[in-house]
Amino acid sequence: MQTHRSLDLQRGRWFSALPEALQEEVLQNSTRHKLRRGKPLARQGDPPIGIFGLVSGEAQIIGTTRAGLDILVAVHRPGDWTGFLACVDGGPYTFSVIASQTCEVLHLPLAAVQRMFLSDAENFRRFVLPEMASIRAIYTHVVESLAFTPLQRLARRLLDLTSEPHGGRVNSSFISPVTQDQIAMSIMASRQWTNRLLQYLEQADMIRISRSRIDILDRARLNQLALHGESGFTLGEAAPGQASLV
């Protein structure tokens, strides 16, 4: 029998693709936790203690550079899981996972992960699929970072932050909370330049900007811009009084 908890988890590609018996085993061996906004599920550099699945709320995946800058890597929503790589290689978590709003989370402990997934070849293949998808996405990101204009990188980033981290399926029409600094650092642009790019997309009716929030209004055109770039594009000055992120 499916519970409300398991139905929420079915939104994610990894859990929903597991055999039903394995899904039940994951649920039976997991503990449920509630986190307030700003609380970490896991921190970059911590030793692995298992994987985490989001049942409700949202969490930001944050990477911290050696200089101490925090970069917004992804946004996890109900059905998304994280922590796979550290459980496989025994190394520390590569990112911090921070609740960006009140969250309900399932934690599958490392011992259960090892028993259920790492001792069986087929289950191991199932377990590493999200990490393989992430590696493929990283390769694509490296190529696009070298070839894309800042506007293309921004369009791609907005699409990525409203999609599944491991599968690419759309799972939100908005990003919130988010700051202009987070967006700027993730596309390797200055805050001022990012503001002008965001204003351009808003003037083109592709997005709507409000305090700490970006709504995607025209995903098809945003995707076309990310793929093919802009022709004859010049940036005008942002109009006074327009909304901006903080």
48: DSSP letter = P
pLDDT value, residue 70: 94
The per-residue pLDDT for range 106-117, each reduced to its tens digit, is 999 999 999 999
In this prediction, residue 232 has a pLDDT band, given cuts at 50, 70 and 90, of very low
**Does position 215 have pLDDT exceeding 70, yes or no?**
yes
pLDDT value, residue 5: 53
In this prediction, residue 4 has a pLDDT band, given cuts at 50, 70 and 90, of very low
Structural domains in the chain, CATH included, are 4-140 (2.60.120.10), 149-228 (1.10.10.10)
Structure tokens at 186: 């993730």
The per-residue pLDDT for range 159-184, each reduced to its tens digit, is 999 998 866 678 789 999 999 999 99
Residue 214 and residue 245 in contact, taking contact as beta carbons nearer than 8 Å? yes
The Cα angle at residue 126 between residues 121 and 132, in degrees rounded to 5: 110
46: DSSP letter = P
The per-residue pLDDT for range 140-160, each reduced to its tens digit, is 888 888 889 999 999 999 999
In this prediction, residue 44 has a pLDDT band, given cuts at 50, 70 and 90, of very high
**Does position 15 have pLDDT exceeding 70, yes or no?**
yes
**Does position 126 have pLDDT exceeding 90, yes or no?**
yes
pLDDT, mean over the chain: 89
Q: Tell me the average pLDDT across 69-87.
A: 94
**pTM of the predicted protein model:** 0.84
Map residue 197 onto helix, strand or coil: helix
Q: Tell me the average pLDDT across 181-192.
A: 93
**Does position 235 have pLDDT exceeding 60, yes or no?**
no
In one-letter notation, the amino acid at residue 56 is S
In this prediction, residue 1 has a pLDDT band, given cuts at 50, 70 and 90, of very low
* Separation between Cα atoms, residue 99 and residue 101, nearest integer Å: 5
Q: Tell me the average pLDDT across 121-132.
A: 95
Q: Tell me the average pLDDT across 195-216.
A: 96
Q: Which of 52-66, 104-118, 217-231 has the lowest mean pLDDT?
A: 217-231
pLDDT value, residue 168: 65
Q: Tell me the average pLDDT across 59-85.
A: 94
> What string of H, E and C letters represents the secondary structure of 138-172?
HHHHHHHHHHCCHHHHHHHHHHHCCECCCCCCECC
Residue 33 and residue 26 in contact, taking contact as beta carbons nearer than 8 Å? no
Structure tokens at 244: 């901006």
**Does position 234 have pLDDT exceeding 80, yes or no?**
no
pLDDT value, residue 243: 59
